[in-house]
Amino acid sequence: MEEMMQDNNTEDEISSKAKGKDSDKKFLIGIICGMLVSMCILGIVLIGKQAYRSYRMDKAIKAGSYGESGEGYSSKLVDETLASKIVTLESVIDKYYLNEYTTEDLETGIYRGMIDALGDKYGEYYTVDEIKKAREDSDGVFGGIGAYISYDEDLNCCIIAGTMEGGPAESAGLREGDVIYKVDDIDAQGMESSEVVKYVRGEVGTVVHLTLIREGENNTIEVDITREYIDSNTVYSELMEDNIGYIGITEFDTVTSDQFVEALAVLKGQGARGIIIDLRGNLGGNLDTACDIARNILPEGVIVYTIDKYDNKKEYTCDGEHELDLPLVMLVNKYSASASEVLTGAVKDYGKGRVVGTTTYGKGIVQTIVPLSDGSAVKLTTSSYYTPNGICIHGTGIVPDVEVELDVDAYYDNGFDNQLDAAKAEIHKIWEESY
């Protein structure tokens, strides 16, 4: 019995050990299977990521090969190396960058960077919303403070080139020549005018804080201005003493030519015997608008012509049917630019009027806004323009026939405009010379 008992115990031990070995084997197989499944999943993920990256690179390369320049355009820039680096940078940003961002932010940054890299101070990339606002501005309707902002290369800052009559900026005491040092808490030094304008404009009823530097003042000037809905009347007119008609043009928008024609007709109807066109602080605008106005002044001939990178010449002409038959004086200053210089240069070349004031800004290049298929757009310098006598004034400006510096203190303290008085005097001289 004892031997049988011992035999039975030995069989039980052997059976238990066999079961343990089977269990260990199953556990090991389970681990191996789990590892294989994990490796498969990881492989699928890696393949997916690589496929996505390949898709992104292929998309970027195709975008460069078939862009707005025309079907079949072969990109000099976009290739697999560049596309791969963009994907890598995106990965690094996603992994390490502290703050929130969107893919739209990165895409817009890439587009802006390409335009900025050109060194074209007037070049700009517009998002869909930005181009919409730009078109509203061109139509003469926008929100803001009612000030004209220009970039001063000597100061490397933007300045107030003028204010709209009765607008928030004028009411707040802003002056022509004020340097914009800060907008709210943002340092504006070195910013182009388009960038400063973005910060100055905002929702109607909100307040923008400007820090200004004014010549003759020891301390900065701090001003809070409430933004208003600005419906820009770009032409102002009145019949002054001695029946001298005055027409001030603040900018060349799509509405400006009709406003000018109406103002000129009214002044003639009131018995105007001479016309002063005031373009001081007029930074330019729409070239076609400037030419439309010129067609109500000039004799038959070329108003201005442009030449692009391919030496293509485009002429803007006048039929002479509405040539002005009154003495004319153009009033300009160093902030009269672009389209203002087109009009002034044509008047001077044809001898249709005299130019009074100070040398103009000197912007003799033309920008074109090119719409893109997704609704965005780019603005690029596309050509140089020349006055009827073949003069390109870029970088030099138009020198007035009668040079007169504005007496700033007298203008802002007493409302006395010595440049306007000089323009009136020229009208009188033309009358005297005609008799």
Q: pLDDT tens digits, residue range 355-402?
A: 999 999 999 999 999 999 999 999 999 999 999 999 999 999 999 999
Say yes or no to pLDDT of 71 above 90. no
Residue 65 phi, psi (nearest 5): -85, -25
Q: What letter does residue 228 receive in the DSSP assignment? A: E
Say yes or no to pLDDT of 140 above 70. no
Residue tagged active-site, from 334, 363, 379, 424: 363
pLDDT of residue 69: 47
Lowest mean pLDDT among 5-14, 139-148, 164-173, 281-290: 5-14
Residue tagged active-site, from 232, 257, 349, 379: 349
pTM: 0.73
Cα 166 to Cα 250: distance, rounded to the nearest angstrom? 13
pLDDT of residue 25: 57
Active site residue 76: no
Residue tagged active-site, from 193, 194, 232, 338: 338
pLDDT interval class at 113 (50, 70, 90): very high
pLDDT interval class at 124 (50, 70, 90): very high
What residues have CB less than 8 Å from 144, skipping those under 6 apart? Answer: 197, 200, 201, 202, 227, 228, 230
Residue 337: name the closest of 155, 194, 151 by CA: 151
Active site residue 178: no
> Which has more confidence, 14 or 325?
325
Give residue-wise pLDDT tens across range 298-310: 999 999 999 999 9
Active site residue 363: yes
Of all residues in the chain, the percent with pLDDT exceeding 70 is 81
pLDDT interval class at 9 (50, 70, 90): very low
Average pLDDT over residues 228-254: 92
Cα 184 to Cα 287: distance, rounded to the nearest angstrom? 33
